């Protein structure tokens, strides 16, 4: 792209100089797009701002170089190796946005995809090469990725600090998008928020947050967990971390601890289970200790309560999960048992009689550990997807079920994260083969990407809405896309196993 001058865009705080880039897709079609990386949407959260709400960023003189990704909040990752590449970049200016656009000119009026990364609210990176969005640029969409504070800095509950700082970061980033994305060719009235795993949970949180409704028009929730934390649980987790560090649970105490030490202390908030199978079906009711806190203010209610109340009911939503999200998580759990019986163990874990037998009967050839892992997948991801999609009733909602299984030697089944490169249409990207194996079906990527694109561009997917017949887009193990009723067992897990309302 040497023949093109660097693109320059004027934001509310100054000019940014990006780069023209090009990349060919799997069919050889070249995407020419401009990227602007590491643009701050808030002041660096350091010093007195470390545990404060995001503050306005100072304007700059001249041009700010936006050629490379800026610093990331992630310092270390508990996932080794992570299934999605998660670059960690040192520095203080971590509250930033990265924009990829096919036409960086005001007035282009292109739809916008805002991506919120996953990582359990303690890891992940907006600088991942998987999230650049070159295939969306090829299709006339502006992509933006947001960085936000993670772990204790983002979600730790302190006596004298504003809670939900990570949530406030999402909101500040989306407010920046509303004020500035038109200068990059985007239409602020056609913003779709999207994310996977913790990012999907963030999407559902924002979708049901009354104060965020003006910031986006559509939502794409990929493998969203029901990750609300009560104020009491958040305070308990904060006390455990503070005690392990020998400091007080206030700003002064935690400010005396550096980022790495604080990150490494987070495990103190996760008590070890006496029985690895204990609470199997109820793990979604006991989420990660550092996640959005239901504080009655920034986050007034849980996601389910928000869905029932109709918050965000008018917004088009595409929601779904992979078939075997965390099925690998209990591999070897029954190795010491002489005759492990999946149905009996599921009943012991809390599944009602009848439901336990139904759950155990799925894919019995894959063994007891797989059946127990499927219950984990159901409790954390698949049952919430089924429940929320049904509870939205006549609201514009499409559900999907990604069932194509990875061909990688290190990944089993349609596991967590496997669907992401299909949706972004990046099967040839570095690191993708590690997750999906060799020769993944491009036709399936075409189908998944087309559904994401339809939501982002048109606000509707080429399929019947989920209700009233529970219509589900299935991306099958054979690589084909079909539509049929789905999530039957998961709805039972939601109502019978987790005791959550489903409505009519």
Domains of the chain: 316-504 (3.40.50.1820)
pLDDT of residue 164: 98
pLDDT of residue 180: 98
pLDDT of residue 504: 54
pLDDT means over runs of 10, the chain (504 residues)? 83 98 84 96 98 98 97 86 92 98 94 98 96 97 98 96 98 99 98 98 98 98 93 93 96 96 85 57 62 95 97 98 93 81 89 94 93 93 97 97 96 96 95 94 97 98 96 96 97 92 74
DSSP per residue over 107-123, as a string?
T--EEEEEEE--STTTS
Helix, strand, coil in percent for the chain, rounding step 5: 35, 15, 50
315 near 192, Cβ under 8 Å? no
CA–CA dist 109, 214 (Å, integer): 18
Q: How big is the CA angle at 199 (ends 25 and 119), to the nearest 5 degrees?
A: 90
Q: What order do you get walking across the sheet with 481-485 strand by strand?
A: 19-24, 30-40, 96-101, 142-146, 110-116, 186-196, 218-222, 317-322, 397-402, 471-475, 481-485
- Measured on CA atoms in the order 7, 11, 16, 21, is the torsion positive or negative? negative
Global pTM value: 0.96
Helix/strand/coil for 149: coil
Q: What is the largest CA-CA distance in the chain?
A: 71
The full length of the chain comes to 504
pLDDT of residue 498: 86
* Cis upstream peptide for 216 (omega within 30°): no
What amino acid positions are annotated as catalytic residues? 197, 325, 416
pLDDT of residue 284: 46
């Amino acid at each position: 792209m040497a023949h093109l001058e660097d693109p320059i865009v004027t934001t509310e705080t100054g000019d940014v100089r990006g780069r023209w880039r090009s990349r060919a897709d799997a069919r050889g079609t070249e995407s020419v797009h401009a990227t602007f990386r590491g643009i701050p949407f808030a002041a660096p959260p350091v010093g007195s701002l470390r545990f404060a709400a995001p503050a306005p960023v100072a304007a700059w003189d001249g041009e700010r170089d936006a050629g490379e990704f800026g610093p990331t909040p992630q310092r270390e990752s508990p996932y080794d190796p992570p299934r999605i590449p998660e670059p960690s970049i040192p520095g203080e200016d971590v509250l930033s946005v990265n924009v990829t656009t096919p036409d960086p000119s005001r007035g282009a009026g292109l739809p916008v995809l805002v991506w919120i990364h996953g990582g359990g609210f303690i890891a992940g990176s907006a600088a991942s090469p998987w999230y650049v969005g070159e295939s969306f640029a090829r299709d006339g969409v502006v992509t933006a990725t947001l960085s936000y504070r993670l772990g204790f800095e983002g979600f730790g509950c302190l006596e004298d600090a504003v809670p939900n700082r990570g949530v406030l970061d999402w909101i500040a980033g989306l407010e920046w998008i509303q004020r500035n994305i038109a200068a990059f060719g985007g239409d602020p009235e056609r913003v779709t928020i999207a994310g996977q795993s913790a990012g999907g949970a963030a999407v559902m949180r924002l979708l049901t947050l009354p104060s965020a409704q003006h910031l986006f028009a559509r939502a794409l929730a990929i493998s969203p967990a029901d990750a609300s934390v009560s104020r009491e649980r958040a305070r308990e987790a904060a006390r455990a971390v503070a005690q392990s560090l020998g400091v007080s649970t206030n700003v002064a105490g935690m400010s005396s601890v550096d980022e790495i030490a604080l990150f490494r202390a987070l495990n103190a908030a996760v008590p070890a289970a006496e029985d690895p199978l204990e609470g199997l079906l109820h793990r979604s009711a006991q989420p990660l200790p550092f996640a959005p806190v239901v504080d009655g203010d920034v986050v007034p209610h849980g996601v389910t309560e928000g869905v029932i109340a109709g918050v965000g009911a008018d917004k088009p939503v595409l929601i779904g999960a992979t078939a075997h999200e965390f099925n690998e998580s209990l591999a070897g759990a029954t190795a010491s048992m002489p005759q492990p019986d999946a149905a009996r163990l599921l009943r012991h874990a809390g599944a009602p009689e009848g439901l336990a037998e139904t759950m155990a009967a799925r894919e019995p050839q894959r063994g007891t550990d797989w059946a127990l892992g499927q219950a984990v997948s159901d409790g954390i991801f698949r049952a919430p997807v089924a429940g929320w999609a049904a509870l939205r009733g006549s609201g514009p909602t499409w559900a999907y079920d990604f069932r194509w299984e990875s061909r990688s030697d290190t990944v089993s089944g349609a596991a967590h994260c496997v669907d992401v490169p299909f949706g972004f249409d990046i099967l040839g990207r570095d690191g993708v083969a590690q997750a999906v194996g060799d020769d993944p079906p491009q036709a399936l990527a075409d189908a998944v990407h087309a559904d994401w694109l339809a939501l982002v561009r048109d606000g509707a997917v080429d399929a019947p809405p989920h209700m009233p017949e529970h219509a589900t887009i299935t991306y099958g193990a054979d690589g084909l896309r079909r539509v049929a009723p789905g999530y039957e067992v998961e709805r039972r897990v939601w109502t019978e196993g987790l005791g959550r309302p489903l409505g009519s």
